[in-house]
Amino acid sequence: MAATGVLLVAVMIAGVSIGPVTLGWWEVLHALVDADSPDSPLVRDVRAPRVVVAGVVGAALAGVGAVMQAVFRNPLADPGITGVASGAAVGAVVVLVSGTTVLGSASVPLGAFAGAAVAALSLLLVARMRADASPVAFVLVGITVGSFCSAVTAALVANAPTDSAVRSVMFWVNGDLTSRTWTDVWLSLPPILLGAAVLVSRHRVLDALLLGEPTATSMGVDVRREQLVLLLAGALVTGAAVAVTGVIAFVGLVVPHAVRLVLGTRHRILLPASMLSGAIFLILTDLAARMLFDPVVLQTGTVAALVGSPVFAWLVLRSGSHQADAA
């Protein structure tokens, strides 16, 4: 854990240092401390907020992924399973297609967060309508919400007034960190910290849920109530993360799966390790998106999918071969 924390700091400094104009580590630290430094605008206003957003969102998605995989006892579960990401996409697309700029640069993130909130409220509505709501019911609601939101998004894009609006929508839906500002950090950080605190505090509950509902109940866990709390907290974190970056896949799927193979299933260690690793993964992914094909810049979500899909395939094959050897 300590080594991972040190690695995260090193990766963040590298993310701020490396770019079309590469700076030394000392120059980066000097620019952060001294506002009069000639490199200060580049470091403080352009690269630093982008790296911080990548770290916060990467940690959020990986942490929620670890929780969803425990709640559903399925290593293929990810933060998008509740449909909140799809709801955020609709909110953002509405703002982009309509051209609304009432709230300035915060218009798209706030629109996305509003869409995510509506999707999360649908989960709460299911919980209130069905006292015995199970994770399966939430998955079905998530699939329903996701399908409905995809249809709404397609309809909005098909009727977009300009080609530039369509490009903006496609750019956002695929996930990217271009032009992130400190406003995005302050918009996403409070709900992510609140939701993450709830998730981490439930590490013993998550360990019990992995043993199955009957065993967890015998250990004194109110399974239905805890599942609802975990799902809603996960929805809050996912919505806040997606609101500022768009939909970035594979972070919440690959990272906790890989960390679990290395460190085991105890969530007291698994959750913070997944969050730190998710932050590292997304910062490096964003750095690759900026520099891999310079001067051509790829979207962060595109690079995450290009890296995450083969890595996840390798992890699945590796775990399958180990199970076969054990048998």
Output the tens digit of pLDDT for each of the chain's 327 residues.
888 899 999 999 999 998 888 888 888 888 888 878 888 888 888 899 999 999 999 999 999 999 988 888 877 778 877 788 888 888 888 888 887 766 776 788 888 888 888 887 777 777 667 655 566 777 777 788 888 888 988 888 888 888 877 877 877 788 888 888 898 898 889 999 999 999 999 999 999 988 888 888 888 888 878 888 888 888 888 888 888 888 888 898 889 988 988 888 899 999 999 999 999 999 999 999 888 877 777 888 888 888 888 887 877 776 655 554 544
Q: Provide the CB-side half-sphere exposure for 207 (13 A, CA).
A: 15
- Tokens at residue 37, please? 């430094």
Number of helical (H) and strand (E) elements in the chain, helices listed first: 15, 0
- Please tell me the pTM assigned to this model: 0.86
Nearest in space to 1 (alpha carbons), one of 253, 315, 259: 259
Phi–psi pair at 21, nearest 5 degrees: -110, 105
